[in-house]
Amino acid sequence: FSFLAFSLCVVFGKRKRGRTKEGVSFSPFPSRLRQEGAAAVPTTSSGGGATGDDGLFLLFFQRRRRLVGAAAAAAAWAASSSGRGQQRRRRRWLRAAAVAPTASLPLFLLWFFLRGDRLKPALRSTPPILYAEERDNSEEEEVEFSKVQWVEVGLNITDEQKQAIARLPSMMTKRCKALMKQIICFSPQDGNLSLLLAAWVKIMKPKRADWLSVLKKMKTLENPLFLKVLEYALLEDSFEANIRDYTNLINAFAKGNRMQDAENAFLAMKKKGLTPDQVTLTVLIHMYSKAGDFDRARKAFEEIKLLDLPVDKRAYGSMIMAWIRVGMPEQGEMLLRDMDTAQTFAAKEVYKALVRAYSTVGNCDGAQRVFNAIQLAGIIPDAKICALLINAYCVAGRSDDALSVLDNMRSAGIKPNDKCVALMLAAFQKESNLEKAVSLLMDLERDGIAIGKEGSEILSQWFQRLGLSDEFGHVLKDISNSSMTL
């Protein structure tokens, strides 16, 4: 490059040499720089005096301080000089320009060997993958990208890591495989995940598809670094984060009971200018309802309605569960009616939770209403839901209605479980109605229904109170252990 610059400047100077316009000698430098050079060294009209180009060259050399630039400037200045004094300086500068390329070669080689470790990827035999020059002990300080290096995974890795690397999909791009190898071999004690991802972004120039491929594979492998990588990706322009990406992060935090982190992610999403949609708000409702934070759950639910967004069954279900947890199942039942109007039906667990809420306090009418709503929703009630309805009638002291529920179960082909039988026996014991208890046991025997441990314990307590424990104790024990029928 020095020889080329030198030759071009000499030829250019020879072609323009001697040409003048209005008594002003030609100069290869722009007029603005010539004025600065003239200010540095006064211009004289005599042959041996200094010109504006003299000062310009000195100014140029002081600014650049590069051998190549000096050689080109010297050649251009010397080729355009005139006069005896300038002819002598011209010969000296030409010799200096010819020597400059020769002197630059050893200097370049010295610089290359001193800086060569930063011009090529470094290879290490240990799992640490990324490092930076020590600056200070503060982890909050930003790391200059020029200080970051990408270090390939070495050979000293475990067999498990080798197998995990070998199982990476063959269709995965090379840049994605490179990051997955680093993540598989990553150790928090020996590396910094943020620096690793920063180096990958800087060197590999990933696109959104690359980020998604890596995140999908990490989620499949259940890698513990998944959330940290997703958090970092959301801040990268190459990821092109949208509202659904933030929703996935909030949902992941909610599943891990990390409510504060989820709220921080939600605030970051709003700060970025993304308006929360129905899916995001539903995730928040579910999280707050699960955590027992009724006020925030209700606020998020009302925000969906204020934004005129459709409310799905998950949002309804989470809000109904929030009402149940604060001891107000009636409000939850009102939401069930709203769902019926919107032709939306809650999940079976929501109906079951409402029946349990009414059953616990002995509100048999509320439990019966929800039980009817279950059948209208096309859900076939099982023995557990029927047991909750039986318990509601028993707590309310309406054993006949509870017995009717048991008979309806048998008529519908639903086999009563031990809980249903135990509830009925406990209700008859409370009323001291041994005749109904014996009649029930005989009906169950005809249907081949066994009495379990819980029912046997209630009978044992009843017989002890009647003073018949010695006669029936061994029989009840055998029934309880073997699930025999009476």
Task: Average the pLDDT over 189-196 and give the result.
Answer: 85
- Distant-in-sequence contacts of 381-386, Cβ < 8 A, 24+ apart: 381/414, 382/414, 383/409, 383/414, 383/415, 383/416, 383/417, 383/419, 383/420, 384/352, 384/417, 384/419, 385/351, 385/352, 385/355, 386/414, 386/416, 386/420
Q: Against a cut of 0.85, is the pTM above it?
A: no
**Virtual CA dihedral for 44, 50, 52, 54, nearest 10 degrees?**
180
The tens digit of pLDDT for each residue in 229-250 reads: 999 999 999 999 999 999 999 9
Bridge partners (DSSP) of residue 130 are 150
Question: What SS3 class is residue 420?
Answer: helix
**Whether residue 130 has pLDDT greater than 80:** no
Q: Residue 135's pLDDT band (boundaries 50, 70, 90)?
A: very low
Assigned token pair, 278: 């129905």
> Mind listing the pLDDT tens digit for each residue in 61-101?
444 444 445 444 544 554 454 455 556 655 665 555 555 55
Q: Provide the β-strand partners of residue 122.
A: 151
pLDDT in tens, 274-317: 989 999 999 999 999 999 899 999 999 999 989 888 888 999 99
CA nearest to 301, candidates 425, 270, 314 = 314
Of 194-198, 233-237, 461-465, minimum mean pLDDT range: 461-465
> What's the confidence (pLDDT) of residue 14?
46
- Express each pLDDT in 26-69 by its tens digit: 444 444 444 444 444 444 334 444 444 444 444 444 444 444 45
Q: b/e for 249-283, b at 16 or more Cβ within 10 A? A: bbbbbbeeebbebbbebbebbeeeebebebbbbbb
